[in-house]
Amino acid sequence: MLESLKKNPAFTKRRGPVVLMIMDGVGIGKYAEGDAVLDSPTPFLHKLMKEQPMTLLKAHGTAVGLPSDDDMGNSEVGHNAMGCGRVFAQGAKLVTQAIETGKMFEGATWKKIVDKVNSASSTLHFIGLFSDGNVHSNIAHLKGMIEQAKKDGVKCVRIHTLLDGRDVPETSALDYIDPFEEYLKNLGEDYAIASGGGRMTITMDRYGANWDMVKQGWATHVKGEGRFFASAHEAVETLRAETKAIDQDLPAFVISRDGKTPLGAIKDNDAVIYFNFRGDRAIEISQAFDQGDEFDKFDRGAKPDVLYAGMMEYDGDLHIPNNFLVNPPEIDRTLDEYLCSSSIRQFAVSETQKYGHVTYFFNGNRSGKFDEAAEEYVEVKSDVVPFEQRPWMKCAEITDIVCDTIKEGKYDFIRLNYPNGDMVGHTGDYQAVQVSMGALDLCLKRVYDAVTAAGGVLVITADHGNADDMYEHNKDGSVKRGKDGSIKRKTSHSLNPVPCIIYDPEYKEDYAKELNTGLGISSVAATCMCLLGLVPPADYDKAVINVK
């Protein structure tokens, strides 16, 4: 346990709790057109923005540990930054460095994989998100590994593509597949794409929300079961025409050269690399490969005897997966741990889709609690339906719990995540996002009233932008349009800053109402410590308030 934080004699602790509200995917837009945060029934949020102390925080790029400021932020790195109060180099940067320096290929796991397939004359399979979104994966990492495998004498490689359309344009799959197919031709006919499907259809479930996605992925990648196509290009064109779905929602497909047998079913003595570096949507498929008879989520059939490795260790406490290629960021001394050591009672809540973010990622990629007696975590089960069909999601239920918890008076620090702006934003459905934001606004007012009655403090912020940038834009700021004149929807995160609003109904003039500017979301941790009457650690990033 860490040493407790010192109390700040210059700050008067408020009667009620400090409540940290994370409006997932709600940024401050750059363009009026396509800004569904601005163009939604959110009068209360905008009232607070005008009347309460507010500053803008950076939530992308180097401010959250990503390689460059061209990289959009995401929920994983955003919650890491908010929860640990400092910026750590994140997965994308760590993997890029490991490949560019050759460190990955000098490691024991890579050597074990190469030895396995070369000695058995078997196949090396790669499964992962097939884009350069740099949120869960990067196709450049895949190419780096494939090229090294070729140098190391691997004769047969199969790629199982999870189509994106979420961190990149919604119908951009062929922009990746077509040049990649040409790239593979230069490596030989035994280097080929073997299967695929939309990331929201197969394999990439998280937090146990829908294990059927993983079951479908297992059937597609491992068993080679599904609808056959001669090429990935043909599969995407055909399925897109039939379903009208965007990439993330396309059905699964299997490649077959003879129309009878799958090109890349996974067999005994093969090796498999899951090349996503982000952990939340990698854990379940890793469990399916790694676990033995104790696995009970679905019937895997005859499980092939393979060597499986993840790009990174996705869960450091549960040690998932058994083998991995790159060490994850080593995050320590988080806000949660410091508050536990300082006898601050904590409560965390969200629905399934973001529950792990407000707990596991917020706590520095750590499962479980730091202090069972001082903390309570509550998960509200998400609906298993397309988000545009339930755009309000579970914000009302989350709000019920938060308001009751504030009134109960048992906890000093409460944190919650509303997933609406992000999860519905990813659908590209503008009207649905407007509904989701309106629902969130009603809930914000309820939490505000509960904080007022309790004499607490409400900190409102976000982990990254999304709903604030729903249309693709040209460099001159105009909206991009297709050949038919329709607006090109944007389903990825934005590069926009996020708000940080401080509502302190019993303000005692112990800090200036003018908030600091130019900070990143890592400043949220020190800010919450200050508002709890504690002195943040010296190496934490600066708070948005200056306590007198």
Closest CA to 290 of 276, 300, 277, 280: 300
* Joined tokens for residue 496: 């926009």
- In the three-class reduction of DSSP (H, G, I as helix; E, B as strand; rest coil), residue 9 is classed as coil
CA distances to 104, 236, 418, 497, 512 from 92, in Å: 14, 27, 26, 20, 38
Q: What's the rounded Cα separation, in Å, for the pair 50 and 214?
A: 45
Q: What's the rounded Cα separation, in Å, for the pair 430 and 315?
A: 35
Q: What's the rounded Cα separation, in Å, for the pair 310 and 126?
A: 10
Q: Give the total residue count for the chain.
A: 548
Q: What's the rounded Cα separation, in Å, for the pair 25 and 7?
A: 33
Instruction: Output the DSSP codes for 23-52.
Output: ETT----S-STT-TTTTSS-HHHHHHHHHS
Tokens 């403090």 sit at which residue?
Answer: 457
CA distances to 88, 316, 378, 397 from 446, in Å: 35, 37, 19, 12
Q: Is residue 297 classed exposed, middle or buried when 0-12, 13-18 and 19+ CB atoms within 10 A define those classes?
A: middle
Q: What's the rounded Cα separation, in Å, for the pair 98 and 106?
A: 10
Q: What's the rounded Cα separation, in Å, for the pair 368 and 100?
A: 35
Residue 21 β-bridge partners = 416, 460
State the DSSP code for 14: -
Which DSSP helix (H) or strand (E) runs through 159? strand 156-163
* Joined tokens for residue 544: 């948005």
CA distances to 38, 430, 471, 472, 492 from 477, in Å: 17, 19, 11, 9, 17
Q: What's the rounded Cα separation, in Å, for the pair 424 and 208?
A: 19
Q: What's the rounded Cα separation, in Å, for the pair 239 and 366?
A: 39
- Residue 77 corresponds to which amino acid? V
Helix count (H) and strand count (E) of the chain? 16, 15
Active-site annotation holder among 40, 68, 75, 286 = 75
121 is catalytic: no
CB 494 within 8 A of CB 27: yes
* Joined tokens for residue 6: 């010192």
- In the three-class reduction of DSSP (H, G, I as helix; E, B as strand; rest coil), residue 273 is classed as strand
Q: What's the rounded Cα separation, in Å, for the pair 522 and 82?
A: 5
Q: Is residue 349 classed exposed, middle or buried when 0-12, 13-18 and 19+ CB atoms within 10 A define those classes?
A: buried
Enzyme catalytic residues: 75
